[in-house]
Amino acid sequence: MSTITTLHAGFAGHVSDALDALVAAGALPGGLNRGAVTVEPPRDPSHGDLATNAAMVLAKPAGTNPRALAEALVAELVKLPLVTEASIAGPGFINLRLAPGAWLDELRAVAALGADYGRSALGAGTTVNVEYVSANPTGPMHMGHCRGAVVGDALASLLEFAGHKVIREYYVNDAGAQVQVLGRSAHVRYREALGEDVGEIPEGLYPGDYLIPVGQALAAEFGDRYVGAPEEDWLALFRTRAVAAMMAMIRDDLALLGIRFDRFSSEAELQAAGKPDEAEAWLRARDLVYDGVLEAPKGKVVEDWEPVALPLFRSTRFGDDQDRPIRKSDGSWTYFGADLAYHFQKAESADALVDIWGADHGGTVKRIKAAVAAMTGEDGHPTPFEVKLVQMVQLLRDGEPVKMSKRAGTFVTLADVVREVGKDVVRFTMLTRKPEAQMDFDFAKVVEASKDNPVFYVQYAHARICSTLRKAAAEGFAPGDGALDALGSEELALVAQAAQFPRVVEAAAVAREPHRIAFFLHDLAAAFHAYWNLGNDRPDKRFIVAQSADLSAARLFLAAQIGQVVRNGLALLGVEAVEEM
């Protein structure tokens, strides 16, 4: 790993050093918590290049006033060679102006670090398990799964880039009633493959054509052996084969989006290995599971409701509204009972857990958080666990909602959408909104090649850079950092914009919000396009200035590094940085 320090990280350190100097001089008490101290660019660039709130947040605990502390801090900060001015503003902000050399150093850092520019050690090598998609293995992926898939995958990449080890995990729900239905559906297709006229697929089974090849494969393998046989002879077998086929199909769908998982965990295997039993025993020993009577459901009338004694997990002790059953009255595991054990299993090999769920599962967040808290928190340090809910995506075509019905077979598959608009468009679009907000996905708009469409806008910036570098090479100019002093304030402003990337990566990783990268890229692309257009009216502001090899080399070096930052950002989102459009 390189020892190059990026600009923002460097100045965070400088402010910290200045505070240490004040402590050493007796001007500030030691041991203050500096967690709230920030060093970041001010919202209004006219205030300077960097601002810190250190004096304001430390004044009160230090027993002094912000102004006095700021003055002492300024006296330290002006000693830094790259600081040209340090001033106090407003309630006690300290604004710093930096020498051009600070930005030029950053530009060299981008070049030196290349694809690693923006990579952070923030995660300190701790392992984060990110579970996402986890679509039921009963059919192809549809658009309802898409957003969670993209958000989860981008988040995983982001956390890796921010210094975590990441496990990308898919939980295969291959143990519930729905896979029994899948097995029966496969049996119908199996009989059909053997020549039987099965007519309409019966109500309650999966009617999709995607099970036809599964039936054919079963027919080829087993002949007519299971045609008239009782269900207990074939259901487990057919279910297993059908699930395997569905998972193969889902992997193909995911591959279209460029998504791959490190681990597929099977609910059926989890149960076969006795994990839920172990969890129950462990919880019972601590009186966290007891036999109790479940309350009747609220908010709607259930006619056949009968109070029954069930093993309940005391989730109310950890903030849930109600204790939750882990087994059904027939003794089999509820989804929650197995999921609880599953999360405990995940926590054994990770320092933190993140689940990406659809908003329709929001009602079960409290119980699973309660379970993780109960099972990992005995030592007082529960495994950090977050559930990110992604809201549903409304599909539109020219402003009209696309009607979807599983029964009518008109649901929109992920594969169809990716084929129609492309992986990059799907991925970027899904990341241009914070996940917890509802979004529309209009086929007409997302393929539009204009600035209305952020995907093309960002890719266009990268393509322009590549095109410029190609043209320069053809004319005998090459990027070089030998005369970077030739760069002026407009160029340095562009560097300042790009230099935010490492900060944005860290902030996005901490917040688990990959969409921030997408917005950063849009802003950077806008800054680049604006700079580019200076050359329309003023040939002396173009990247290639025929009269000056030095200036051209410096500007091309700048262009190349902006391109590098765009590439690094797009890589996190899993979007291709096209070189030509």
Nearer CB in complex with RNA: 345/432: 432
Query: Helix/strand/coil (H, E, C) string of 234-264?
Result: HHHHHHHHHHHHHHHHHHHHHHHCCCCCCEE
Within 78-199, residue ranges assigned H as helices are: 100-113, 143-161, 177-193
E strands within 267-399?
289-293, 309-313, 324-325, 352-358, 385-390, 393-397
* Interatomic CA distance for residues 562 and 91, integer angstroms: 35
Instruction: Tell the smallest beta-carbon distance from residue 39 to RNA (Å).
Output: 9
**How would DSSP label each residue in 390-453?**
E--EEEEETTEEPP--TTTT-PPBHHHHHHHH-HHHHHHHHTSS-TTS-EEEEHHHHT--STTS
Give the total residue count for the chain: 581
Instruction: Tell the smallest beta-carbon distance from residue 413 to RNA (Å).
Output: 18
Rounded alpha-carbon distances, angstroms, from residue 40 to 79, 297, 313, 361: 19, 50, 46, 37
Measured from the Cβ of residue 155, the count of other Cβ atoms closer than 10 Å reads: 27
Q: Is the distance from CB of 350 to CB of 385 less than 8 angstroms?
A: no
Instruction: Tell the smallest beta-carbon distance from residue 296 to RNA (Å).
Output: 8
Nearer CB in complex with RNA: 124/530: 530
Nearer CB in complex with RNA: 91/202: 91
Nearer CB in complex with RNA: 37/219: 37
**Sequence-separated (6 or more) residues with CB below 8 Å from residue 41:** 49, 50, 51, 496, 500
Of 207, 335, 357, the residue nearest 268 (C-alpha): 335
Tokens of 351: 């320092």
Q: Is the distance from CB of 496 to CB of 98 less than 8 angstroms?
A: no
Nearer CB in complex with RNA: 351/386: 386
* Interatomic CA distance for residues 166 and 350, integer angstroms: 9
- The structure tokens 């090899």 sit at 549
* Interatomic CA distance for residues 343 and 376, integer angstroms: 10
* Interatomic CA distance for residues 50 and 13, integer angstroms: 13
Nearer CB in complex with RNA: 227/526: 526
Q: Give the gyration radius of the chain's Cα atoms.
A: 29
For helices 231-256 and 177-193, the axis angle rounded to 10 degrees is 100
Nearer CB in complex with RNA: 335/443: 335
Nearer CB in complex with RNA: 193/508: 508
Nearer CB in complex with RNA: 51/107: 51
Instruction: Tell the smallest beta-carbon distance from residue 215 to RNA (Å).
Output: 22
* Interatomic CA distance for residues 259 and 240, integer angstroms: 24
Nearer CB in complex with RNA: 89/255: 89
Instruction: Tell the smallest beta-carbon distance from residue 247 to RNA (Å).
Output: 14
Nearer CB in complex with RNA: 180/216: 180
Instruction: Tell the smallest beta-carbon distance from residue 389 to RNA (Å).
Output: 6
Nearer CB in complex with RNA: 56/219: 56
**Sequence-separated (6 or more) residues with CB below 8 Å from residue 216:** 189, 193
* Interatomic CA distance for residues 319 and 336, integer angstroms: 16
Backbone angles phi, psi at 127, to 5 degrees: -95, 130
* Interatomic CA distance for residues 393 and 390, integer angstroms: 9
Nearer CB in complex with RNA: 300/407: 300
* Interatomic CA distance for residues 332 and 349, integer angstroms: 27
Q: Is the distance from CB of 346 to CB of 291 less than 8 angstroms?
A: no
Nearer CB in complex with RNA: 58/375: 58
